[in-house]
Amino acid sequence: MKKFDIPIHYKSSIISRIKELRKIQDPRKKDFTPTHLDFGPVNFIIARHFGFCYGVENAIEIAYKTIEENPGKRIFLISEMIHNPGVNEDLKSHGINFIMDTEGNKYIELDEITKDDIVLTPAFGTTIELENIFRDKGIEIEKYDTTCPFVEKVWNRANSIGKNDYTVIIHGKHKHEETRATFSHTVQNTHSVIVRDLEETKLLGKIILGEIEKEEFYKIFGGKYSQSFDVDKHLSRVGVVNQTTMLASETQEIADHLKDVMTKKFGSDKVDEHFADTRDTLCYATNDNQRATYGLMEEEADFAIVVGGYNSSNTSHIVELLESKFNTYFISSSDKILSSELISHFDIHSKKEIESKDFIPQNDKVKIVLTSGASCPDSMIDAVLNKFLSYFESVKRLDEVIEE
């Protein structure tokens, strides 16, 4: 796989060594068991896969090269490059301006941007409508496009089934910029509906089967369907794609449910005419990270730490999985570990940051699960690991631990 030139401060002295050792031992990524780092009084159980993925490193490399090669020019990012506050603040400190937030609320009016400016497309991609606005201004939007190739793969899959007259069901968060971009690209060729989860999919299935009045579709899925959507016509042939950071298991459940609905309505002998089996469109990194998270859940530990941006979809899903077994603390950086007795962390249910006291148990050996999302630099995991080590006495040296 291509190696990217990313700033040195995103790289790691600890985690990078562990990843390299695991890569040598398991080049084909068949082993999803975690790495144990036994420092004596504290044992870290570290996920097999986590941190910057291909798409993130590609986006960061393009962004910093753009800054370096265009001194004196105004450089804009359509929205957050990735969902990591540290990375986005670093880009701002280098002079990059953000046009809007992740939900499309503008910081800068588009009229203020001219043909002499540079506009970067984030790793999540952007909508056709925005691309056309910038092209009309004479801006080379394609030249500075950091859209992840795995997001583009979803667009291609949606385009393929759309051309065969299937409506595309997008499993995603309808306000997420990647889902908005996928929806925009999809509706160029066919109709589309966004479903958030299996529960919404079940409602859609009842509408298809006539168990819920079709007029209810427009209320339940308000703002989530394409223009001129006709329930009778456009829900007779469907296929599923997803936002690349959703839970793979849930996407499969959604696809299976809709296939069952189509089988019930049209018969098993005709289901292939009404359901396009697109397979999962989850990106490889999200898939690897989720499988590595299931590997963590086979372990016993006192608590789990997940590091990443609070608006990161793939990180939130890792938290969701881990908290079914461990006391799980979702933090954006090591700064959130306020002391050995107090941690400030994000609650994915209330969407608020809260504080927890006495989170480190008074055990002879403390076991900590440690992982992150795909937009978290390895250097942040180093910082978290070192912060915890500072709370324990007589810890082993790192070289000794890695040698073991």
Active-site positions read 178
Question: At residue 145, what are phi and psi to the nearest 5 degrees?
Answer: -95, 115
Q: Which two tokens stand for residue 324?
A: 């079914």
User: Using the 8-state DSSP alphabet, how is residue 33 labeled?
Assistant: P
* Residue of 206, 218, 193 lying closest to 261 (CA atoms): 206
Which sign does the torsion angle of CA 103, 109, 111, 113 carry? negative
Q: How far apart are CA 268 and CA 273, in angstroms?
A: 10
Closest CA to 330 of 349, 350, 344: 344
Strands 167-171 and 192-195: parallel
Residues in the chain: 404
The residue written with tokens 């700033």 in the block is 7
Comparing CA positions, the residue from 116, 139, 112 lying closest to residue 126 is 139
Strands 167-171 and 96-98, bridge-based pairing: unpaired
Among residues 193, 190, 186, 187, the alpha carbon closest in space to that of 208 is found at 193
Residue-wise DSSP of 194-241: EE-SHHHHHHHHHHHTTSS-GGGHHHHTTTSB-TT--HHHHTSSEEEE
Do the bridges between strand 275-276 and strand 238-242 make them parallel or antiparallel, or are there none, so unpaired?
parallel
**Rounded CA separation 312/246 (Å):** 11
Q: State the Rg of the chain over Cα.
A: 23
Based on DSSP, count helices (H) and strands (E) in the chain, helices before strands. Answer: 15, 14
Name, in order, each residue with C-beta under 8 angstroms of 67's C-beta and a sequence gap of 6 or more: 75, 94, 95, 96
